[in-house]
Amino acid sequence: DAGVIQSPRHEVTEMGQEVTLRCKPISGHDYLFWYRQTMMRGLELLIYFNNNVPIDDSGMPEDRFSAKMPNASFSTLKIQPSEPRDSAVYFCASSLRGLHNEQFFGPGTRLTVL
């Protein structure tokens, strides 16, 4: 298996622009997670899905952030409008049958908002 695939790997944009991060989970996995990692705040769980349905979005920082999972093999995290404080590494992870099982992380997308 190719593992969790994220794109792009690096994104540089200007403040106010829309940013879309993409994730393809491991085939057959039914849970998908989005995380944000910064030096100041560490690793934060933003949202997770089960069978394409959002279960817990309490970590989404504000309305500028939105996430979708239109099918079992694709998810997006969108920031509109982006701000410099959104600069971070965003990870997608997937797992099989729940939070108690191993999460497999993608390589991350490094986002820089100027």
Partner 1 sequence: GDSVTQMEGPVTLSEEAFLTINCTYTATGYPSLFWYVQYPGEGLQLLLKATKADDKGSNKGFEATYRKETTSFHLEKGSVQVSDSAVYFCAVVSYNFNKFYFGSGTKLNVKP
The residues of the shown chain that bind partner 1, judged by CB under 8 A, are: 4, 33, 42-43, 45, 48, 55-56, 91, 93, 99-100, 102-108
Q: How many CB atoms lie within 10 A of CB 28?
A: 10
Do strands 42-50 and 31-38 pair parallel, antiparallel, or not at all (unpaired)? antiparallel
Q: Nearer to partner 1 by C-beta: 41 or 85?
A: 41
Q: Which is nearer to partner 1, 43 or 114 (CB)?
A: 43
* Residue 68, strand partner residues: 76
Cα dihedral 50, 64, 77, 109 in deg (nearest 10): -130
Task: State the nearest-atom distance from the C-beta of 26 to partner 1, in Å.
Answer: 13
We find the least distance from the C-beta atom of residue 93 to partner 1, in angstroms, to be 7
